[in-house]
Amino acid sequence: MPTDEDDVLTPAGRALVAAGVEHTTHDVTGVTSVEEAAARQGVATDHLIRTIVLRRGEDDYLFVLVPGGSNIAWPKLRAHLGVSRISLPDADEARDATGYERGAITPFGSTTAWPVVADASVPGMGTVAMGSGRRGTSVQLDADAMLTALDADVADLT
């Protein structure tokens, strides 16, 4: 089981430490649902922040942060970004763009610091959990500290 000290060995862990974001690492190995992941970490389902990498164009990506159980409202997102088309890259393309495997993607420590857009429900949530950049682990951190460290744009996306 990874420890908080182990996370400084990952790009995400190093980025969190460098940004001064207090966080703890949690083992989520073997969870099979959002509900189980939330229960294992002692947070509400909507406090699990999903990181979705999206492609706006050739070599033009962004991260979208949405609470667990919420779906992106694609027309809202496209309108916010001022684009008519946006797509999900396949697993290989997402790994190439971020340095992370699907299921472990996080904006922290990504190979490229793509823009981050977070749903308007995230600010003020308090403790949230998100991917750590390594399968089977997540990090818990303060939502506002996360948004500040990522210089996230906040908009109604769900």
- CA 152, chain centre distance (Å): 11
What is the pTM for the complete model shown?
0.92
pLDDT digits (tens, 9 = 90+) for 73-91: 999 999 999 999 999 999 9
Token pair of 148 as six digits: 């500040």
How many CB atoms lie under 10 A from the CB of residue 15? Answer: 20
pLDDT at 3: 46
Whole-angstrom distance, CA of residue 153 vs CA of residue 103? 23
CATH of domain 6-155: 3.90.960.10
pLDDT per residue as tens digits for the range 118-135: 999 999 999 999 999 999
The domain limits of the chain are: 6-155
User: What is the four-CA torsion angle of 121, 123, 129, 134, rounded to 10 degrees?
Assistant: 100
Summarize the confidence of residues 102-110 as an average pLDDT. 93
63-72 per-position pLDDT tens digit: 999 999 899 9
Please write the tens of the pLDDT for every residue from 18-57: 999 999 999 999 999 889 999 999 999 999 999 999 999 8
**pLDDT in the model for residue 8:** 53
When pLDDT is cut at 50, 70 and 90, the band that residue 10 belongs to is confident
